[in-house]
Amino acid sequence: MPDSRPAKKSAAGPTKRLGRSAAPDDGKVTRLFAGTKAATAKRAAAKTADAEAPAAAPAETATNPLDRLLHAREARFTGSLSLISLALAYMDWGLHLANAPGRRSELALEASRQWTRLLSPDAWTQPLPGDYRFHDEAWAHPPFNVFAQSFLLAEEWWRHATNDLPGVAKPHRDVVSFVTRQILDVFSPSNCPATNPEVIRATVAQGGLNFLKGYQHFLEDLQRRAQGLPLDGAGRFAVGKDVAATPGKVVFRNELMELIQYEPTTETVRPEPILVVPAWIMKYYILDLSPNNSLIRYLVGQGYTVFCISWRNPGPELRDTALDDYRRLGVMAALDAIQVIAGAAQVHACGYCLGGTLLSTAAAAMARDGDRRLASVTLLAAQTDFTEAGELQLFTDASQLALLDDVMWRQGYLDSSQMAGTFEMLRSNELIWSRIIKTYLLGEREQSSDLMAWSADATRMPFRMHSEYLRQMFLRNDLAEGRYRVDDRPIAVQEIRAPIFAVGTERDHVAPWHSVYKIHLLYDGDITFALTNGGHNAGIVSEPGHPHRHYHLARRPGLGPYLSPEEWLAAATEHEGSWWPAWVAWLNEHSGGPISPPPLGAADKGYPTLAPAPGTYVRES
């Protein structure tokens, strides 16, 4: 039933709550959405009043509705990519190349050298790091080695042609290079059954049965996609049983999130609870996968009271939800609840990916307002400066964002399949082509894992929030440059006073570690930075005992000298194994002595337990 209890006041002042409800008997959550269109427009105007940067136009009036409908329909045939943006990039590159006869001569000479190299095996090139298409031993023997080298040398030539042309704007150069690489990947000899020795070997051994199996897999996948089901195998990981299975209770719910408090497993706990703020681009349980690799379960076992936000999977009814609503109804509402339930004066806050960026804005606003409830801040693969945000920047120029706005305007949200397609393009060899070869040409189903099951359990993004996030962070870099506003006043990351533990991953396509490392430029306090091997997800889900794990670790004291990323890496100490124990040791240094665990929830203070973990929002599809 709806909660009639008045909102509490935090150390920073009153926290607004748009609504909170307990789970009714039928298991469906009452959907509350506060604020009229007039209030939404007023809040949007206040957020964009900063004269230092061009304001984002109100979502409902930025473009003519007829144009929006046209662009949304166009996007269905372009994969939500802006053809105008692509054309401008290639025009920039093409015109500069046409006006550079010397450069064209160099490229022609280099092409002739590539042919000469093809005839001289001693001069052959090697695949780039992370490219395993030609890893099989058969690729080292004729004629397959010639096929592979022809492709790799052509790839190398196009890399030089698209990257080394003076005068081309860097964003356009990056787009041309990326798209050209995607086109080349289509024609890789590894993708053709007649030129791939692994496929030929399997065909001979099975008498062509691999193609029959692959065709069956193809039909099954088509049917599953049409029904909106995960690919074969992912469904065997049940939420609440196999994944997201750490015991706990939902102790708070509003229209954007559920707050889960986990049951203690130790006789005593540290007095400072941990609040985990996950990204809302996917379900929260990337940090609570199987029992053996759950970061949340590990923290509970280390003697901490852990709370985690489980974001709602929004539909069109939340289209006008703002980016700041996630801070206010997420981080701040969770801190209010934790302070009452655990009786804690301070909290360790940990944000992953988008959740880390959100936590940074909340921590900066709290510091500005004199709210000292954060004992520490941990940022996992989270960016605060977006000037080097990696290949995702290819999809965030003005033209691309205008098209994306029109797509989201029509449906009220960004669909999970559209977001998944973007991430797959960033790692097309690994996430698209290698799976096609294995599943449809070799006829082998990839063994599903908990991480794959989580990846298939995608979420949507509210129209207004996602538009604000892309414009204010990616396009204008407002947070790093002091233009981001909370409650109509600017905030600055440098105002944060709590110590920071930041983690980057070596092969991160979403938040490159050089970008994560920029926290050193924005914050002059105490920073401990860890660089772990792996990618955006696997580098964070790096449990103790996992083979082939290592990380670099170094601390910069408050007001300490700045080191470039390369200098930091050379000076940092390398460790074998998981970075989790190092983080817990750091948390222990910033925590008080052990105390008795707090109860689950606080019914007498307005925070009853509403449902067993993992709650109801995580099950929304």
pLDDT tens, position by position, 443-479: 998 877 898 889 888 899 999 999 999 999 999 999 9
Within-domain flag for 510: yes
Name residue 555's beta-bridge partners: 528
- Taking CA atoms, 249 is separated from 93, 308, 356, 581, in Å, by 56, 10, 23, 26
Residue 31 has pLDDT above 90, yes or no: no
Percent of the chain with pLDDT over 90: 74
pLDDT given at position 421: 65
Question: Average pLDDT for residues 194-221, to the nearest whole number?
Answer: 96
User: Do both 267 and 127 map to the same domain?
Assistant: no
User: Do both 168 and 258 map to the same domain?
Assistant: no
Within-domain flag for 220: no
Within-domain flag for 431: no
Alpha carbon 200 to its chain centroid, in Å, reads: 38
Identify whether the C-beta of residue 317 lies closer than 8 Å to the C-beta of residue 31: yes
Coil, strand or helix at 567: helix
Q: Which of 203, 238, 272 is the last residue of a domain?
A: 203
**What is the rounded CA–CA span in Å between residue 605 and residue 601?**
9
**What is the rounded CA–CA span in Å between residue 121 and residue 278?**
50
Identify whether the C-beta of residue 200 lies closer than 8 Å to the C-beta of residue 574: no
Residues in contact with 491: Cβ distance below 8 Å, sequence separation at least 6, in sequence order: 361, 364, 365, 368, 479, 482, 484, 485
User: Do both 371 and 260 map to the same domain?
Assistant: yes
Q: Between the CA atoms of 315, 318, 322 and 325, what dihedral angle is there, to the nearest 10 degrees?
A: -100
Identify whether the C-beta of residue 469 lies closer than 8 Å to the C-beta of residue 477: no
User: Do both 192 and 302 map to the same domain?
Assistant: no
The whole model's pTM is what? Answer: 0.86
- Angle at the Cα of 131 from the Cα atoms of 129 and 135, rounded to 5 degrees: 110
Instruction: Give tens-digit pLDDT for 535-563.
Output: 999 999 999 999 999 999 999 999 999 99
Q: Which of 146, 174, 203 is the last residue of a domain?
A: 203
User: Do both 255 and 199 map to the same domain?
Assistant: no
Identify whether the C-beta of residue 149 lies closer than 8 Å to the C-beta of residue 66: no
User: Do both 260 and 175 map to the same domain?
Assistant: no
Q: Give, for 20, the enclosing helix (H) or strand (E).
A: none
pLDDT given at position 12: 38
List, as one string, the DSSP characters of 302-366: TT--EEEEEE----GGGTT--HHHHIIIIIIHHHHHHHHHH--S-EEEEEETHHHHHHHHHHHHH
pLDDT given at position 63: 66
- Angle at the Cα of 502 from the Cα atoms of 498 and 505, rounded to 5 degrees: 175
**What is the rounded CA–CA span in Å between residue 413 and residue 204?**
48
Number of domains composing the chain: 2
**What is the rounded CA–CA span in Å between residue 63 and residue 79?**
21
Question: Average pLDDT for residues 205-224, to the nearest whole number?
Answer: 94
- Taking CA atoms, 182 is separated from 90, 153, 171, 422, in Å, by 14, 16, 17, 12
Within-domain flag for 347: yes
Instruction: Specify the amino acid at residue 389.
Output: A
User: Do both 381 and 485 map to the same domain?
Assistant: yes
Q: Which of 170, 203, 236 is the last residue of a domain?
A: 203
Within-domain flag for 434: no
Residues in contact with 108: Cβ distance below 8 Å, sequence separation at least 6, in sequence order: none
**What is the rounded CA–CA span in Å between residue 460 and residue 483?**
27
CATH code of the domain in which 301 resides: 3.40.50.1820
Question: Average pLDDT for residues 341-370, to the nearest whole number?
Answer: 97
**What is the rounded CA–CA span in Å between residue 411 and residue 463?**
8
- Which residue among the candidates 192, 308, 350, 353 is catalytic per the annotation? 353
DSSP state of 22: P
User: Do both 264 and 350 map to the same domain?
Assistant: yes
Instruction: Give tens-digit pLDDT for 309-341.
Output: 999 999 999 999 999 999 999 999 999 999 999
Question: Average pLDDT for residues 594-610, to the nearest whole number?
Answer: 97
Within-domain flag for 494: yes
Name residue 107's beta-bridge partners: none
**What is the rounded CA–CA span in Å between residue 65 and residue 69?**
6
**What is the rounded CA–CA span in Å between residue 408 and residue 110?**
45
In the structure, what pLDDT confidence band is assigned to residue 15 with cuts at 50, 70 and 90? very low
Residue 24 has pLDDT above 90, yes or no: no
Instruction: Specify the amino acid at residue 151.
Output: F
User: Do both 380 and 523 map to the same domain?
Assistant: yes
**What is the rounded CA–CA span in Å between residue 619 and residue 25?**
16
Name residue 243's beta-bridge partners: 239
Instruction: Give tens-digit pLDDT for 402-420.
Output: 988 998 988 899 887 767 6
Question: Average pLDDT for residues 118-132, to the nearest whole number?
Answer: 91
DSSP state of 473: I
Neighbouring C-beta atoms of residue 340, cutoff 10 Å? 17
Residues in contact with 141: Cβ distance below 8 Å, sequence separation at least 6, in sequence order: 197
User: Do both 184 and 304 map to the same domain?
Assistant: no
Question: Average pLDDT for residues 288-304, to the nearest whole number?
Answer: 97
User: Do both 303 and 182 map to the same domain?
Assistant: no
User: Do both 379 and 522 map to the same domain?
Assistant: yes
Residue 17 has pLDDT above 70, yes or no: no
**What is the rounded CA–CA span in Å between residue 503 and residue 7?**
35
Residue 61 has pLDDT above 80, yes or no: no
Within-domain flag for 412: no
Coil, strand or helix at 371: coil
Within-domain flag for 313: yes
What is the span of the domain harbouring residue 508? 248-387+477-619
Q: Is 192 a catalytic residue?
A: no
Instruction: Give tens-digit pLDDT for 160-174.
Output: 999 989 999 999 999
Residues in contact with 192: Cβ distance below 8 Å, sequence separation at least 6, in sequence order: none
**What is the rounded CA–CA span in Å between residue 524 and residue 559?**
5
- The helices-and-strands tally (H runs, E runs) of the chain is 22, 17
- Taking CA atoms, 541 is separated from 257, 588, 590, in Å, by 23, 20, 23
**What is the rounded CA–CA span in Å between residue 200 and residue 551?**
40
